[in-house]
Chain A
Amino acid sequence: QSVLTQPPSASGTPGQRVTISCSGSSSNIGSNTVNWYQQLPGTAPKLLIYSNNQRPSGVPDRFSGSKSGTSASLAISGLQSEDEADYYCAAWDDSLNGRGVFGGGTKLTVL
């Protein structure tokens, strides 16, 4: 069982806006920043959002992140077929001498 909780699946049609939630606790999301990773089929994860809402160079502005309290969310607007992938939230957890923690991942299907 993952420390951060994500829905296992999400879906949308091209052009739609979809959101993926990530729920944690005071020791992780509540006190540290949230990052999001995109993993296309058969490839390594790629940083999508860091520090709650920052996009690395090259990531389209269709992707956005937000955080409130012990929860965070990733929004994808103008959904495209190439967005079909697994998405993971992640944060640092201050318990147990500190550790990195991930959500279980959300598989996004573009219908």
Chain B
Amino acid sequence: EVQLVESGGGLVQPGRSLRLSCAASGFTFDDYAMHWVRQAPGKGLEWVSGISWNSGSIGYADSVKGRFTISRDNAKNSLYLQMNSLRAEDTALYYCAKGGIAVAGTHFDYWGQGTLVTVSS
């Protein structure tokens, strides 16, 4: 059974940093791209970032480019999102999602339950 478990969310002040983690199990982690998707309270889904199986291809939404960094550790079956210079508009539930073989043109076939990030003073 595929499982994705996010952690690392919490309350943080504007301008500070936070690192999210996603522990994956139930599939061959280093065969697939992985993604972060977020959902602000009461709002729709927004793709944040994606990373290929070997970290050779990475993409970011314009809204987070230059502030967020996605990475993965295939030996630990883990995905990460380093979030710097956080803003109030980054407040959201952050989902880890399993992608396809490539970063682009893929669908997200499994999702975690999300970790909540609240940016407020």
Contacts and interface: CB of A to CB of B under 8 A. Distances in A.
B109 A50 contact: yes
A63 interface: no
A35 B107 contact: yes
Contacts of B45: 37, 39, 45, 88, 90, 102, 105
Interface residues of B, number: 24
Given A98-B59, A100-B50, A44 B112 contact: yes
A105 B43 CA distance: 9
A44 B114 contact: yes
Contacts of A46: 111
A47 interface: yes
Interface of A: 2, 32-33, 35, 37, 39, 44-47, 50-51, 56, 86, 88, 90, 92, 96-105
